[in-house]
């Protein structure tokens, strides 16, 4: 156990009762988890298949896996679970699907799919109302995360909208079941339900998962917390690590109070604190400490580091958002050249996804490799999912989820009512939708027109399926795309031609990829399962191994670290976010800024603009209130002076260090005055 300090070592070896490691950013919490896994396997002799470590994002899980494999060889980790909460939930649901009333081969609906189902369930007046669908989806998700069942939601509804959404929730659940599908939230809620209602199954899993480790514990919501409790049971073989200052998912139902709840639920809970930070230089830490001190605290944590004082935190003021992107990228190029670093040493972090576009554009112009973490992956795109669903259905006529996805995409007169009747019928006969479409029994349920359109399609599926067994996969795929008229469908269903063409380009990309796989003598069945099974995580791994700049939201950056970090858009209405100005939300926005700052190891640059294009209009911006909460002595202001609202005060761009300091002080005073006025 080298490179561990005393409290870390204590945390790793402690197995007498549940353990909570509560500590600030970069203090080695994740390191405690990975080393503890190694300790349990190598020193205690536990079977890796009895150990599960869970966290929140795919990227964090991947990072954790990578760290574990530095400590243990592949033989020692065989059977070990290191995953997200959702993947763990999925495993449980898959293995115990019967007890939950599902058939094998269930499908996971993503957020787009669920929105589609909700839309289909709505009355025609509501169908086009995207905002309503959004609200409904969000509300249902919160209910699920709080383990509120449809009946309870109905009983509790105290106004019309809630009542309407609660009814929708009930129908939505029914629909999912009929499709043999689950959504993202079900992956946690169903295992909880399962373990509560079936003590025998719970016991089996408790015997299977004998030690549980949870990273980023502050972000667990009610259902995740219940799942942790049910898995650990009375034995309480549990280590959780977290930082209340990094709780940034309240909007998704996360409850930092779960940290306190632990003390109540596990009276024998042991708490260990870590205070030495191994990540960042002291100026960065001081900025983080000072910022977060503005939030109320029950437990005070002061981080310190042996990494020296480090460079000042630079604050670049740009003219507008274009200028901001240009400056960040040229700064990055200059810095890389000067310090002989790699592109992957840099991260550009922002509050909202939409902020990435300009940076992408400029990075591309300069031919700098970058990747967007947590963005929509190729395979999550609608058009790719559509075409893949066709191919899935050709090779597996029982893939009901694929059938449902494309039965009416492009439109072919197979309506929701037809699908519903078909679904109910297939369910009662326990056969797939395609098989059911040919049965005599269906004929009394559907009118002849509906039946004609349905059978026309399913027959086509079967014919193409035959051909797919003999012909080259890429040929079949291209023919499918042509025969269904996908290109025209995109043109008609997208809002503008550009979007349609972009999507078609993605389809072309998929087709040429299929051709490449086909050259390796793979048949369509093999290719489809290859693509379906191809671990998304693996693909993203490839991405990360490339030397490229990381672009991501502050949310997605949690748990990660980079030598050089840019936090862009340090402005009111961006950070803090414009919809987050009530007191509780400001606290959360401040934690988000804290997460951002503490990602940086060596250098941190923050940027803001004077003007920014929003909703097509150039608007004046205001510096983020969080800037003035940072220690003035650690900031170095650069670029356009901020004082635009007072042109007579306009100063020249500061050049010498002394000038920069002086302008910095002036900016801070100005900022303070401005904010006090508000």
User: Does residue 101 have a known ligand-binding role?
Assistant: no
Residue of the chain from 48, 559, 569, 654 that contacts ligand ATP (CB under 6 A): 559
CA distance 197 to 200: 9
CB atoms within 10 A of CB 464: 19
Annotated catalytic residue 216 = yes
Residue number, 559 or 654, with CB nearest to ligand ATP:
559
27 marked as part of a ligand binding site: yes
> Do the Cβ atoms of 355 and 574 come closer than 8 Å?
yes
* HSE (side-chain half, CA atoms, 13 Å) at 155: 5
Cα radius of gyration rounded to whole Å, the chain: 27
On whether the CB atoms of residues 208 and 47 are closer than 8 A, the answer is no
**Residue 87: CA count within 13 A, CB half-sphere:** 18
- 29 classed as catalytic: yes
Compute the distance between CA of residue 123 and CA of residue 273 in angstroms, rounded to an integer: 54
Among 18, 150, 473, 559, binds Mg ion (CB under 5 A): 559
What residue 347 binds from Mg ion, ligand ATP, none (CB within 5 to 8 A, per partner kind)? none
Q: Which of residues 462-491 bind ligand ATP (CB under 6 A)?
A: none
Q: What's the CA gap between 638 and 261, in Å, rounded?
A: 46
Q: Does 26 bind Mg ion (CB under 5 A)?
A: no
CB of 39 to ligand ATP, least distance (A): 14
Site string for ligand ATP, 498-517 (x = CB under 6 A): --------------------
Binding of Mg ion at residue 518 (CB under 5 A)? no
Instruction: Answer yes or no whether residue 3 interacts with ligand ATP by CB under 6 A.
Output: yes
Looking at the Cβ atoms of 285 and 391, the one nearer to ligand ATP is 285
**How many other CB atoms are found less than 10 A from the CB of residue 69?**
15
- The contact pattern for ligand ATP, residues 236-275, with x = CB under 6 A and - = no contact, is -------x--x-----------------------------
| CB closer to Mg ion out of 244 and 400 | 244
Helix (H/G/I), strand (E/B), else coil: 268: coil
Residue bearing tokens 């030495």: 276
Per-residue x/- mask for ligand ATP, residues 13 to 42, rule CB under 6 A? ----------x-xxxxxxx-----------
In this complex, which beta carbon is closest to ligand ATP, that of residue 23 or of residue 194? 23
- Residue closest to 215 by CA, chosen among 48, 39, 47, 68: 68
**Catalytic status, residue 620:** no
Q: Does 307 bind ligand ATP (CB under 6 A)?
A: no
Q: Which of 4, 71, 146, 170 binds ligand ATP (CB under 6 A)?
A: 4
Tell me: does residue 654 bind Mg ion (CB under 5 A): no
CA atoms within 13 A on the CB side of 157: 19
What distance in Å separates the CA atoms of residue 107 and residue 116, rounded to the nearest whole number? Answer: 15
Q: What is the CB neighbour count within 10 angstroms for residue 411?
A: 12
DSSP one-letter code for 476: H
The reply to whether 505 belongs to the active site is no
Catalytic site includes residue 144: no
Q: Give least dist CB 118 to ligand ATP, A.
A: 35
Q: Quick check: is 599 catalytic?
A: yes
Chain position carrying tokens 């031919």: 367
Figure out which of the listed residues 8, 27, 30, 277 binds Mg ion, where binding follows CB under 5 A.
Answer: 30
Helix (H, G, I), strand (E, B) or coil at 597: helix
> Which residue, among 314, 315, 321, 317, has the nearest Cα to 355 in the 3D structure?
321
The binding track of 166-205 with respect to ligand ATP, each residue x by CB under 6 A or -, is ----------------------------------------
Q: Which is nearer to Mg ion, 38 or 434 (CB)?
A: 38
Q: How far apart, in whole angstroms, are the C-alpha atoms of residue 189 and residue 153?
A: 15
By CB under 6 A, name the one of 126, 278, 304, 460 that touches ligand ATP: 278
Catalytic residues: 29-30, 215-216, 246, 599
Which residues contact ligand ATP by CB under 6 A? 3-5, 8, 23, 25-31, 243, 246, 278-279, 559, 561, 598
């Amino acid at each position: 156990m080298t490179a561990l300090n005393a409290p870390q070592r204590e945390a790793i070896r402690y197995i007498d009762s549940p353990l909570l490691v509560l500590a600030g950013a970069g203090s080695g919490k994740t390191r405690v988890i990975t080393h503890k896994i190694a300790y349990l396997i190598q020193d205690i002799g536990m079977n890796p298949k009895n150990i599960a470590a869970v966290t929140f994002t795919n990227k964090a899980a991947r990072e954790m896996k990578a760290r574990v494999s530095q400590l243990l060889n592949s033989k020692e980790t065989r059977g070990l679970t290191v995953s997200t909460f959702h993947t763990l939930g999925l495993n449980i649901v898959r293995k115990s699907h019967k007890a939950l009333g599902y058939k094998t081969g269930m499908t996971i609906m993503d957020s787009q799919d669920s929105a589609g189902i909700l839309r289909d369930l709505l009355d025609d007046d509501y169908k086009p109302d995207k905002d309503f669908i959004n609200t409904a989806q969000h509300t249902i998700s919160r209910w699920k995360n709080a383990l509120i069942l449809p009946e309870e939601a109905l009983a509790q509804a105290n106004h019309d909208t809630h009542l309407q959404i609660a009814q929708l929730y009930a129908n939505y659940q029914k629909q999912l079941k009929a499709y043999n599908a689950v959504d993202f939230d079900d992956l946690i809620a169903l295992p909880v339900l399962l373990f509560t209602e079936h003590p025998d199954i719970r016991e089996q899993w408790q015997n299977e998962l004998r030690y549980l480790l949870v990273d980023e514990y502050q972000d667990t919501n009610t259902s995740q917390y219940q799942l942790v409790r049910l898995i650990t049971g009375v034995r309480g073989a549990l280590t959780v690590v977290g930082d209340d200052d990094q709780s940034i998912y309240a909007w998704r139902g996360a409850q930092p109070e779960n940290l306190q709840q632990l003390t109540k639920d596990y009276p024998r809970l042991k708490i260990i604190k870590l205070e030495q930070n191994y990540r960042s230089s002291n100026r960065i830490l001081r900025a983080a400490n000072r910022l977060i001190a503005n939030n109320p605290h029950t437990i005070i944590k002061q981080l310190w580091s042996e990494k020296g004082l480090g460079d000042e935190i630079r604050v670049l003021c740009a003219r507008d958002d274009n200028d901001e992107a240009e400056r960040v990228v040229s700064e990055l190029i200059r810095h890389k050249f000067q310090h002989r670093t790699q592109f992957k040493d840099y991260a550009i972090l922002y509050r909202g996804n939409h902020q990435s576009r300009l940076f992408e554009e400029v990075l591309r112009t300069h031919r700098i490799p970058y990747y967007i973490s947590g963005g929509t992956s190729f395979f999550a795109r609608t058009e790719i999912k559509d075409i893949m669903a066709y191919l899935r259905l050709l090779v597996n006529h029982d893939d009901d989820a694929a059938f449902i996805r494309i039965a009416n995409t492009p439109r072919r007169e197979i309506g929701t009512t037809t699908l519903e009747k078909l679904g109910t019928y297939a369910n009662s006969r326990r056969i797939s939708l395609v098989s059911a479409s040919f049965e005599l029994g269906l004929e009394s349920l559907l009118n002849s027109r509906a039946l004609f359109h349905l059978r026309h399609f399913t027959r086509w599926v079967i014919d193409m399926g035959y051909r797919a067994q003999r012909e080259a996969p890429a040929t079949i795929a291209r023919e499918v795309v042509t025969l269904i008229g996908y290109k025209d469908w995109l043109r008609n269903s997208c809002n503008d031609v550009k979007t349609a063409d972009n999507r078609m380009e993605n389809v072309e990309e998929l087709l040429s990829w299929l051709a490449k796989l086909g050259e390796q003598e793979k048949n369509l069945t093999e290719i489809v399962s290859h693509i379906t099974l191809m671990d998304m995580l693996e693909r993203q791994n490839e991405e990360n191994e490339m030397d490229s700049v990381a672009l991501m939201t502050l949310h997605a950056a949690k748990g990660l670290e980079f030598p050089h970090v840019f936090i862009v858009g340090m402005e009111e209405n961006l950070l803090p976010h414009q919809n987050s100005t009530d007191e509780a939300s400001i606290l959360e926005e401040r934690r988000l800024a804290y997460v951002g700052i503490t990602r940086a190891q060596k250098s941190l640059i923050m940027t803001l603009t004077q003007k920014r294009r929003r909703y097509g209009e150039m608007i004046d911006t205001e510096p983020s209130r969080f800037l003035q909460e940072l220690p003035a002595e650690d900031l170095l202001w650069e670029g356009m002076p901020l004082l635009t609202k007072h042109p007579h005060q306009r100063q020249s761009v500061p050049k010498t260090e002394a000038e920069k300091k002086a302008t910095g002080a002036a900016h801070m005073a100005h900022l303070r005055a401005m904010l006090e006025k508000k």
